[in-house]
Structure 1
Amino acid sequence: MSVSPAPLRTGAAPSAGPADIRLVVTDMDGTLLDDAKRLPAGLWPVLAELRRRGVLFSPASGRQYATLVREFAEVAEGMVFIAENGTYVVRDGVELSSDPLDAEVAAGVALAVRRLAADGVDAGAVVCGKRSAYVERSDEAFLAEVRKYYVEHRIVEDVTALDDEVIKVAVFDFGPAERTTAPALAAFSATHRVVVSGEHWVDVMNRTADKGAALRGLQRELGITPAQTMVFGDYLNDLEMLDAAEWSFAMAGAHPEVIARARHLAPSNNDNGVLSTITRVLGIPEL
C-alpha cells in the first residue's frame, strides 16, 4: 500500500503503510552522521534489509569518493556514491558521471583564496581532483579539517598546476563561511555555482553540477521516479537534491531554507533521524 507524500511538517514520518521507495539518498554531515561524525547504530542491518528489498541506498555528500567508500567499506559493493556535491558519481570504482571544472577557473578560485588569506582570512583551498584532493596549507589545524572529508589528499607547492582532472574547489574557512568566504567568491557565481555546503565550507563548481543534477541522472539511468525516491538533507548544497524527490526530508535543526524547501521534516541527525524515518516509511520492523 502506497501513502501520499503530502507535505508533513512534523518530526514523524507517515505511518499509513510502506511506500513504494526504490532509491534512498542521504547527505552525510549533519544528516546521516551525528555531530560527532559517527554513523548511526543499527545502520548495517537496515542497509541489508534495503538491499534484500531491492532498494538502492546512495550517500550524497560533499565528501570525496575515497572517503565515502571508506565509511561504507562493509557494504560498498553495488552502492552508488554521489561524491563531491554531485560532480563525481561512482559505482564499484566505475565512473557513472562527472562534471569537471575548467583548470583556469579552478586556478582562479585558488588565487582568490590566497588573496583572502593575505588579507587575514583564516581560510584555505582544497582543489578536488578525481584521484586526490590537493592543498597548499600544511598546518595541522587545517589538515585536521581536510582529513575529515578527503582521505586522499596531498600537500603541494602550487594547487594551480596539477596533473589531475579537477571537479570542484572547496574552501575551508575557520570563521563563518556564509558571511566571509562566500561573499568574497561571489564573482564566480556569474558563471559557476558557489554554494555554502557547511558552516565552514564553500564549494565552487560548474553551474550544471549539484547533487540534484547527479540524482536526476541516476534516476534516469535506473528508471526510478521522484515518487520512488527518498532524500535527506540539512544544508544549502542539498536543496536541488530535495527537489528531485517527492519524499524529501529536512533534518530537524537544518538550515531554514532547507526546512522550507523539503516536503517533510525528519528527527535530527543526533536522534537517528534518517534510519528512524526509513524504517517507518518503508515499514521495516525493528532489526
Structure 2
Amino acid sequence: MRLIASDLDGTIIGRDGKISARTVRAFKDAAAAGVEIVFVTGRPPRWLDPLREQIGHEGTVICSNGAVVYDLVRSEVISAKTLPHTNIFQAREIILRLHPRATFAAETTFGFQLEPGFVEQGSVELLDGIEPMLLEQSLTERDAVVKFLARGRDLDPDTFLAEVQDAVSHLVAVTHSAPTVALLEMAQPGINKAVTLAGYASSLNIDPQDVVAFGDMPNDIEMLEWAGHGYAMASGHPEAIGAARYQAPAFADDGVAQILEARLAEL
C-alpha cells in the first residue's frame, strides 16, 4: 500500500459533515507511515473544509469527479478539464425533452451558477448570494465549467441516470453520487475519478496494484475498478459494490478505518 485514494461523502464523511475520530486517526497513522493520501471527490474545491479542519490534510485533492486537481495548502487549482459550453446547452436541450421539469446548474473553476428551481429557498447557495439565472444568460466565455448538473423532480436517481446517459453520452460523461436525489453530474467526455487518479499515481511512480481506494456510489465505480485494491462500502450503492474487488464494512462501522488499520498492521 503506497497510495490511499478515498471518496468523501458516504465513505468517510456523514450527512452531518463529520469524520469519525477513528477514521481521522487511521488517516493520520497512514500518513505517518509514509503512505501517500489523496482524496477523490465529487465535491467542488469550496466544500473541502472537513479535510482541512478535521483531518488536517495538506495534500492534493481530486475534485469534481476528476475534472479538477486542487492544492489544498495553497487553495489553488492545479489543473482543470473543462466542458465546452456548446455541449452543455445541447445536453440541456436533450434532457428537457426527456424531462421538462428538470433544472440545471454549473460548477466553474471559481464558483457556481444555478437556474431557478435548482435548489430550495434558504439553501446555502442562495444564502451565499448566488442569483438564479438561465445558464444561457449567466455563463460567459470566461466561465470554465468543470461540472454540469441536472436535477430531476420526483424521479428515481438510477432511472434518471440511465435515461439521460443513453441520450447525451456523445456530449458529456454522466454519473451520480446522491443516493436519494435525482441529481446528475456531467463532465467532459472521458473524464472520471479513475482517469485523473491514474495520472496522479503515475506522477508519483505508483502502480495501480499499490493503490487502495474507497468509494460508495456510481461515480466511484471506475476508480474502484482501476485500483489494485478497490473497496466499496458495504453501505454503498449496489452498482459500486458489484464493481469493486473488495468490500469494506459499512460507513457507520468506520469501514475505511477498519481496512486501513488492518493494512497498516501488515506494513
Same fold (TM over 0.5): yes
Cross-structure match for 2:4: 24
Distance 1:27-1:139 versus aligned 2 partners, 3 A rule: closer
CA distance in 2, matches of 1:23, 1:265: 18
Q: What are the within-5 Å matches in structure 2 for residues 73-84 of structure 1?
A: 73-74=52-53, 75=55, 78-84=58-64
CA distance in 2, matches of 1:223, 1:153: 44
After superposition, the CA RMSD in angstroms is: 2.7
CA distance in 2, matches of 1:231, 1:152: 34
CA distance in 1, matches of 2:127, 2:197: 24
Select which of 102, 107, 115 maps to 2:84.
102
Is 2:110 the partner of 1:128?
no
Distance 1:153-1:232 versus aligned 2 partners, 3 A rule: farther
Distance 1:138-1:261 versus aligned 2 partners, 3 A rule: closer
Give ranges in structure 1 of 5+ residues lacking alignment: 1-20
Cross-structure match for 2:262: 280
Cross-structure match for 2:178: 198
Distance 1:261-1:138 versus aligned 2 partners, 3 A rule: closer
Cross-structure match for 2:147: 168
Contact persistence 2:104–2:118 (CA under 8 A):
no
Cross-structure match for 2:14: 34
CA apart distance, 1:171: 2.1
Q: Secondary structure at the match of 1:29?
A: coil
Contact persistence 1:132–1:154 (CA under 8 A):
no
Paired amino acid for 1:247: H
TM-score, normalisation: structure 2: 0.84
Partner deviation per Cα, 1:167-199 (whole Å, 9 max, x = no partner) = 120223353222136514532113431223333
Q: Higher relative contact order at CA 8 Å, sep ≥6: structure 1 or structure 2?
A: 1
Q: What are the within-5 Å matches in structure 2 for residues 106-121 of structure 1?
A: 106-112=88-94, 119=100, 121=101
Paired amino acid for 2:151: F
TM-score, normalisation: structure 1: 0.79
Contact persistence 1:129–1:168 (CA under 8 A):
yes
Q: Secondary structure at the match of 1:207?
A: coil
Distance 1:182-1:128 versus aligned 2 partners, 3 A rule: farther
CA apart distance, 1:140: 5.8
Give ranges in structure 2 of 5+ residues lacking alignment: none
Partner deviation per Cα, 1:196-231 (whole Å, 9 max, x = no partner) = 333322112122200000110001111111122110
Distance 1:263-1:55 versus aligned 2 partners, 3 A rule: same
CA distance in 2, matches of 1:111, 1:76: 42
Aligned length: 257
Cross-structure match for 1:250: 232
Contact persistence 1:99–1:208 (CA under 8 A):
no
Cross-structure match for 1:234: 216
Identity %: 24
Select which of 187, 195, 199 maps to 1:213.
195
Q: Secondary structure at the match of 2:11?
A: helix
